[in-house]
Chains A and B, each alone.
Chain A
Amino acid sequence: MNKLTKGAIASAAGIVLLMGGAGTLASWNASATAGASQTITAGQLSVVSAGAGAWKNSLGATVTPSSYKVVPGDTLTYTQTFNVTASGDNLYFTVAASSGALSNATGAANAALLSQLTNAASYSVTGNGIVQATSPNTYKVGAGTTASTIVVSMTIAFPYGTTVDNSAQLGAVTLGTGAVTLTQTATA
């Protein structure tokens, strides 16, 4: 067998090997689309002040605390309205109103006044933008369209006692900032 014959045999074998190795490895594949493209949108939870609040004394008269003098029996009430924006089909959140802390500068009268004052905070919800959920102080987004507001009331009470105590006269105390807090919860 001459060189040409050997070369032909080798070439044929190579072609066969190449043909044998090309395209013989395969697997089946099939796909189908599930659903259509969707846009997912997140909800919102915010509370902002609707404006400055107002202080009133126990007689219902609007007062300016910086110039008002409280006496035993007085109750100062601060009222401020907050706008709530809440969206989310499964959004539940608690509402909490907290009063600021009472503190006094040095001085016997200031300390005596601080010891005789009490403070508290409460809130009320209006509108059907948010509605009461199952748990106490828990709300959810309502079906209504009326925007909801939260009215926060903070009171400072100077109780009228049964005995004489003039030590708190002309004292001064400071009430810190209060807050209304909306916190999302996992449960209804």
Chain B
Amino acid sequence: MGSTPRLSALGTSCRRPTVLVLPLAPLVLLVFAAVSAAATVRARLDVRLASAADAAIASPEQLAPEPTRLSRGLSTLRPTPRRVLGGAAAVMGGILVAASLAGGTYAFLNAQATTPAVTVSSGNLAVTVQYGSGPAGSTAAIPTTAWSNMLPGDVVGQQFTIANTGSANATMSARLSATTAWDIRLAAGTCPTAQLTSAPITTAAVSYGTLLSNTNSVICVQASLPAGAPASTEASSVSFTIMIDAKQVAP
């Protein structure tokens, strides 16, 4: 039976708090309300004290609390004009760097295609003259026997070949390098037995036709001693030079 008192004692100790707490709950609430009300009053008092200090225009030294380690540490973070400007500059710099890094983000559309390169070459214009079966060149000498023992009224023709060796078509013309008493006529084609109907050539160039590029044509040069030639031409000799001009024509 020695254990019974312990049991009853335990039972008592367990029951008593339960009985006490329930009536105490409203009391705890009251205490909490009183504490919170006191805190409110204290806060109000603080505000009033601060206002009173401002109104008293106390010196900054009086108002300034004794610097503590925390306040000294906080003072390094306190915004001063220099710190504000420095901070703003740092922010602007950062924006500029970000903008420069983002350069070219905004763009517009563009498209291009190319044409190939090419080389353009110019042509040329060149003519050669050839007497009979002789060599073709820039000059052709006519042998002295071609026109000899000519009498007034005689007409003798000689054949030449004019070639256009250039790449351009040309208008052909002929002229004498100097005037002469002889009647010199020139025409395209083989020489007829009769005198050419074209006008005698003079020192002024007269066109006798066109010559396409890389083609040639036969011309006839006729020399005659006019029937009314003066006596001074008897037993005389003259030399003459015929200039053949080729003038390029536009394509």
Contacts and interface: CB of A to CB of B under 8 A. Distances in A.
Interface in B115-131: 115-125
B20 A8 contact: yes
A109 B124 CA distance: 11
B28 A172 contact: no
Interface in B85-144: 108-125
A66 B111 CA distance: 29
Contacts of B21: 8, 12
Most chain A C-beta atoms within 10 Å of own C-beta, residue among B20, B24, B251: B251
A66 B119 contact: yes
B32 A71 contact: no
A12 B28 contact: yes
B110 A45 contact: yes
Interface residues of A, number: 67
Interface string A29-56: 0000000000000011111110011010
B121 A68 contact: yes
Contacts of A171: 121-122
A138 interface: no
A177 B115 contact: yes
Interface string A170-187: 111111111111111110
B25 interface: yes
Contacts of A47: 111-113
A69 B109 contact: no
A52 B116 CA distance: 9
A55 B122 contact: no
Contact of B115 (A17, A74, A166, A179): A179
A55 to B, nearest CB: 7
B228 interface: no
Contacts of A100: 115, 117
B250 interface: yes
B120 A175 contact: yes
Chain B interface mostly helix, strand, loop or mixed?
mixed
Nearest to A15: B28
B16 interface: yes
A8 to B, nearest CB: 4
B81 interface: no
Nearest to A48: B113
B167 A4 contact: no
Contacts of A65: 118-121
A13 B115 CA distance: 91
Contact of A71 (B31, B110, B116, B123): B123
A175 B118 contact: yes
A52 B118 CA distance: 13
B250 A72 contact: yes
Contacts of A16: 28-29, 32
B17 interface: yes
Contacts of A7: 17
A91 interface: yes
Interface string A1-13: 0001101110011
Given A12-B21, A69-B124, A185-B108, 4 more contacts: A4-B17, A69-B122, A169-B125, A175-B118
Interface of A: 4-5, 7-9, 12-13, 16-17, 43-49, 52-53, 55, 57-59, 65-66, 68-74, 76, 78, 80, 82, 88, 91, 93, 100, 109, 113, 117, 152, 154, 156, 158, 160, 166, 168-186
24 contacts: A8-B20, A43-B109, A44-B109, A59-B251, A71-B125, A71-B251, A73-B248, A73-B250, A88-B109, A100-B115, A109-B122, A152-B115, A166-B124, A169-B124, A170-B122, A172-B120, A174-B117, A174-B118, A176-B117, A177-B117, A179-B113, A182-B110, A183-B110, A184-B109
Q: What are the 5 closest A-B residue pairs judged by CB atoms, nearest first?
A: A73-B250, A69-B123, A169-B124, A184-B109, A45-B109
